Amino acid sequence: MVVKRFGNLYFDTNVLESLSSNIYEDPRLVNLQKMALGLLKMNIFIPQIVLDEFLNRKLLHIRKKLAALLESKDIINKHTHSKIEFDFNQKILEQEAAQILKDNIKKSKISVFANPAISVDEMVVKAINRVKPFGEKGKGFQDMVILQSIIKHCSNNTLKNIFVTFDKNDFNHKDVVKTIKE
């Protein structure tokens, strides 16, 4: 439920990643929430692509840890002539982890909004011309979708809007400022 507020606060994926796995309990987010929701009267938002990117990175991390665990099990079995086995279904484990992360986002009072329709032609032109956040090798598609999603979401209101990111290279560029002003 979105409450009428003074403004909106938008998070980039890297902000979510900097928090602990129990996002809603992370003291940094709790303090930010108190300030944003209470003192500043701001709603906290992320576009769907930020949630998807965050979940994808967390699940990739889980897959790497599971692979390391299985490799360790094999080494132990080899050196001890044992037959240790783990009984888990990786797909179910990943689904449960994804659900926990989504639940944590909800508990943290972060509202997720759908990715808006974005012109593919416009994106291609920006990529070819390497308009930031697109980089030298065409990287930056996800950042451009995040940027366009937030811009379109902001265009539906007259509130103050703040975008929080740790990405100084792509979002702190004159092309991005120009895109926002357009």
pLDDT digits (tens, 9 = 90+) for 67-87: 898 899 889 989 999 888 887
Counting the structural domains of the chain, the total is 1
Within a domain: residue 110?
yes
Rounded to whole angstroms, what are the CA distances from 86 to 8, 40, 117, 144?
46, 49, 44, 42
User: Taking the alpha carbons of 14, 18, 20, 23 in that order, is the dihedral positive or negative?
Assistant: negative
Read off the CATH number of the domain in which 68 is found. Answer: 3.40.50.1010
Going edge to edge, which strands form the sheet with 110-113?
A: 110-113, 42-47, 7-11, 160-164
Within a domain: residue 84?
yes
44 and 11 Cβ atoms separated by less than 8 Å: yes
Residue 156 pLDDT more than 70? yes
Q: What is this structure's pTM?
A: 0.77
Within a domain: residue 1?
no
- Residues 2-26 have pLDDT tens digits of 555 578 888 888 888 877 656 666 6
Candidates 66, 46, 69; CA nearest to 58 is 66
* Domain enclosing residue 58, as ranges: 7-181
Within a domain: residue 2?
no
Residue 41 pLDDT more than 60? yes
